[in-house]
Chains A and B, each alone.
Chain A
Amino acid sequence: MGTDFWKRFSKNKIALAGSCVVILLFIVSVFAPMIAPYDPHEINLKLVLAPPSGSHLCGTDQLGRDVFSRMVWGSRISLKVGFVATGIAIVIGAILGAVAGYYGRWTDAVIMRFVDIMLCFPTFFLILAVIALLEPSIWNIMIIIGVTGWMGITRLVRADFTSLKERDFVLAARAIGASDFRIIFVHILPNAMASVLVAATLGVAGAILTESALSFLGIGVQPPTPSWGNILTAGKDNIDIAWWLSLYPGLAILITVLGYNLLGEGIRDSLDPRLK
């Protein structure tokens, strides 16, 4: 990933559009207290389910809380869940993929069989089953999404390792007496990071989608903590009277996920223009 990458990246419209969205989201969640016009928890029973107006851009919810402010604060949840869950998936996926690809033979067979087994479970079922047993909290959600989402990354890293381990620089490292640990993590892994980066960007998008679906079903982030998913739950409960509760948070999810997907696609194209 050198100057060539940045040159292509800065000319790639898809990548730039994605970056803009992602950067904007970072700004919104970092400066949430300054951007949100109201306290997201402030209940105003005189202004319950008020439609969008000049003072409440996206209307108010069933407790009279400002929906726009709740959405601004909700962006923090999405960001946190997206990154922590993907981080967990990458660590598990990269380690297992590296070990499987580097050692080959039965180590590889056992790990890849385990991947096959995990892929048999409808991911959403597995997540729900684990949540049924644990408490639905933001930390549990992040961990569960991460722990059920590493299989694709394992396959990618393994594929890279099986070809990279035959290269001369690995032989050279072994010749000067580097340990397996050092060869795997210092010499080979950095060379396999490119495909992981793309998968990770798309993974953040997937994690955000999953979190919002879980929160929507009431088994994700619990109220009163605002998340885009649980505002939509209120939207469903008031579906016949308050369309704004359904419209805006979903739009936020759509744009965010779109942003990460575009960024991932842009990185892929810029890494290897032949793949296009």
Chain B
Amino acid sequence: MLRYVIKRLISMVPLLIGITIVCFSVMHLAPGSPTDMETQMNPRASADYRERLNAMYDLDKPLYQQYLLWVGRIAVLDLGRSFSPDRRPVARKIIERLPITILINVLSMVLIFVIAIPIGVLSAVYKDSLFDKITGVFVFIGFAMPTFWLALLLMILFGIDLGWLPISGIRSLNYDYLPPGMVYLDVVKHLILPVALSAFGGLAGLSRYMRSNMLEVIRQDYIMTARAKGLSERTVIYKHALRNALLPVITILGLSVPGLIGGSVIFESIFAIPGMGQLFYMSVMARDYPVVMGILLIGAVLTLLGNLIADVSYAMADPRIRVS
């Protein structure tokens, strides 16, 4: 097992290098240099000042040296300073906003699994039944649904017409004056819509995947064996078949990380949630390159970690993987 983990860790290295190269190239797509923001806006900036600034950002060095210096800095989590007036370190800005984004993503992931797995299993076991057909239609609609639109509709319904749920932020204005128990309830109420919506995006895919897995497993010889030796249908399906059909789902966990993280931009900006997605959106709008690049990099590294965790837990669950 340890050997497998080490092997996977080593195979991550070229990917990590590749990620930094892609980030660095994207950064250099920008027309002009990153110092333009300071020099062009400032009529007092002399040519000398400009050169000193370029030297400070290493822009006077050849590209490969710039890349190496940049990698050296990000290796110690120095992502530079934000261009925004507060000039704060990018790493700190991002770290502040990570917890809420991760919380929402983890909650919606749990929700996706809790709902999609039973749906997938049942529609496979009762293939071609009414339930299977209805979920089939639901899956098609789910794939085609622009989730930001669904967000708007639910905001109108639950937020405005019914007035049940708040539609913006993660806490009410009177949050500080609420009694202790109500504080949690307040946050929960603010999180219901964002979590439900970001889960919705993944539901269709996972339930369809679970269904085809289950159909595949039911066809196997060992299921026939289980039936032949007289086990009840219940034991056959929920013990023998389900366990095997659930295995590959672990990899989906890793594969869905980039989608969830990417989706957080849309949900956090719609619901005004102060997470990493909203920071990313605002930085894109303000052309705050250091923050944009920092988040792009962190998003990719989180994805890589998600894949690693998925692979390792898959190997723990299924010994066959470790050998091949």
Contact = CB atoms under 8 A, between A and B. Distances in A.
Interface of A: 113-114, 116-126, 128-134, 205, 209, 212-213, 216-219, 232, 235-236, 239-240, 243, 246-247, 249-250, 253-254, 257-258, 261-262
21 contacts: A117-B15, A120-B303, A120-B307, A121-B19, A121-B22, A124-B262, A128-B281, A128-B292, A129-B292, A131-B284, A132-B285, A213-B148, A217-B269, A218-B285, A232-B152, A240-B160, A246-B152, A246-B156, A250-B152, A254-B146, A258-B141
Nearest to B150: A250
A128 B152 contact: no
A121 B26 CA distance: 12
Interface in B254-281: 257-259, 261-263, 265-266, 269-270, 280-281
A122 B153 contact: no
Nearest to B29: A133
B296 interface: yes
B248 interface: no
Nearest to A118: B22
A70 to B, nearest CB: 16
B89 interface: no
B261 A122 contact: yes
A205 B144 CA distance: 8
Nearest to A114: B18
B6 interface: no
Contacts of A124: 262-263, 265-266
B144 A133 contact: no
Interface in B142-190: 143-146, 148-150, 152-153, 155-156, 160, 167
The 8 closest A-B pairs by CB, nearest first: A250-B149, A124-B262, A117-B18, A122-B262, A257-B144, A122-B258, A258-B144, A132-B284
B104 interface: no
A217 B280 CA distance: 12
Question: Max chain B CB contacts within 10 Å: which of A118, A120, A236?
Answer: A120
Tell me whether chain A's interface is mostly helix, strand or loop, or mixed: helix
Contacts of A131: 284
A247 B29 CA distance: 38
Interface residues of B, number: 51
Given A114-B18, A117-B19, A122-B258, A253 B296 contact: no
B289 A132 contact: yes
B300 interface: yes
B146 A122 contact: no
A168 B235 CA distance: 49
B14 interface: yes
Contacts of B15: 113, 116-117, 120
Contacts of B206: none
Contacts of B280: 125, 128
A124 B146 CA distance: 14
Contacts of B30: 133
Interface in B3-26: 14-15, 18-19, 22, 26
